[in-house]
């Protein structure tokens, strides 16, 4: 059974006090529960240490929003995988469309980051997705194939066991316009079949593929109940405790139903 992962990408939001005010009630609501989903929070770098401290000895995992592909050196402003491990990060988001759009990241750069993350025991959440223009031109599968082949180039079967893929249609990120359940399922089934061809069916069937893009408490269950949707990478709704908890609950319900 594939692991259902609900991850909150806070982006450039929440200072240290706001992090504390969010995580304490989240922790109190989830503590002691035997969850059927893996819950991950991805604060900004400045809040990783306090987040790690607050969530110590809980089942809630810590993730970072980015990292560089070198371990140390003269790379002003960058964060290394070694640094992320030192604050108990287990996950790192790589290749988000906002990194590609604003900071010029390419599939080749993301590929280098993925390999370095795995080398240091981090689980990369690798983002892929098409723009609205590409979807309207019927190029969704073409774009996804190019991105998947690029970001996974040269990975071994063993390394692939640590990879999570997040399908995030760019046109749905922060727009309030999410993919329909059928659109999400179609794209994520394509990704799984593509990975099966690149590696093998065992790798593909065990690969967690999240959906991301305007996930809300209202649409979460309909998305997460799809056969090839194995979780959510949540943006805006992950900034509010009640909303994030409702999405986690939707994931719980969908996960139990899939097991049965």
Q: Among 185, 189, 241, which Cα is nearest to 217's?
A: 241
DSSP structural state of residue 172: G
Question: Is 10 known to sit in a ligand binding site?
Answer: yes
Q: What pLDDT does residue 1 have?
A: 75
Q: Alpha-carbon distance 163 to 182, whole Å?
A: 24
Q: Check whether 238 is labelled as a binding-site residue.
A: no
* pLDDT tens for the 260 residues of the chain, in order: 799 999 999 999 999 999 999 999 999 999 988 899 999 999 999 999 999 999 998 999 999 999 999 999 999 999 999 999 999 999 999 999 999 999 999 999 999 999 999 999 999 999 999 998 999 999 999 999 999 999 999 999 999 999 999 999 998 877 777 789 999 999 999 999 999 999 999 999 999 999 999 999 999 999 999 999 999 999 999 999 999 999 999 999 999 999 88
- Please name the residue that has the structure tokens 């999410």: 178
State the pLDDT at residue 174: 75
Is residue 239 within 8 A of residue 13, CB to CB? The reply is yes
Tell me which residue of 199, 218, 116 sits closest to 160, measured CA to CA.
Answer: 199
- Does 214 carry a binding-site annotation? yes
C-beta of residue 51 within 8 angstroms of C-beta of residue 19:
yes
CA 115 to CA 120: how far, in whole Å?
A: 9
Do the annotations mark residue 235 as ligand-binding?
yes
Q: Are 63 and 90 in contact (CB under 8 A)?
A: yes
| Assigned token pair, 4 | 């259902």
Regarding the domain with residue range 5-258, which homologous superfamily does it belong to in the CATH classification?
A: Aldolase class I (3.20.20.70)
Catalytic residue list: 96, 168
Under 8 Å between Cβ of 123 and 83:
no
Quote the CA–CA distance of 168 and 131 in Å, as a whole number: 10
Task: Name the pTM for this structure.
Answer: 0.97
Any residues with CB less than 8 A from the CB of 201 and at least 6 apart, and which? none
- Predicted confidence at residue 256, as pLDDT, reads 94
- Residue ranges of domains in the chain: 5-258
């Amino acid at each position: 059974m594939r692991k259902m992962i609900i991850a909150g990408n806070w982006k450039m939001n929440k200072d240290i006090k706001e992090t504390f005010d969010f995580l304490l009630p989240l922790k109190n609501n989830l503590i002691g529960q035997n969850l059927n989903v893996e819950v991950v929070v991805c604060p900004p770098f400045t809040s990783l240490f306090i987040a790690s401290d607050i969530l110590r000895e809980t089942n809630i995992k810590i993730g970072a929003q980015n990292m560089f592909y070198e371990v140390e050196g003269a790379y002003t402003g960058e964060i290394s995988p070694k640094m992320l491990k030192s604050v108990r990060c287990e996950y790192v988001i790589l290749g988000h469309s906002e990194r590609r759009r604003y900071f010029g990241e390419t599939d080749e750069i993301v590929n280098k980051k993925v390999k370095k993350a795995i080398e240091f025991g981090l689980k990369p959440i690798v983002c892929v997705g098409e723009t609205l223009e590409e979807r309207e031109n019927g190029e969704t599968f073409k774009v996804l194939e190019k991105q998947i082949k690029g970001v996974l180039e040269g990975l071994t079967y063993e390394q692939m066991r640590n990879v999570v893929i997040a399908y995030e249609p760019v046109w749905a990120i922060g727009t309030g316009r999410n993919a329909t359940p059928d659109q999400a399922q179609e794209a994520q089934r394509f990704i799984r079949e593509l990975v099966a061809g690149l590696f093998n069916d065992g790798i593909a069937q065990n690969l967690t593929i999240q959906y991301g893009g305007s996930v809300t408490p209202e649409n979460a269950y309909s998305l997460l109940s799809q056969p090839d949707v194995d979780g959510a990478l949540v943006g805006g709704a992950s900034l509010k405790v009640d909303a994030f908890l409702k999405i986690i609950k939707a994931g719980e319900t969908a996960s139990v139903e899939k097991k049965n």
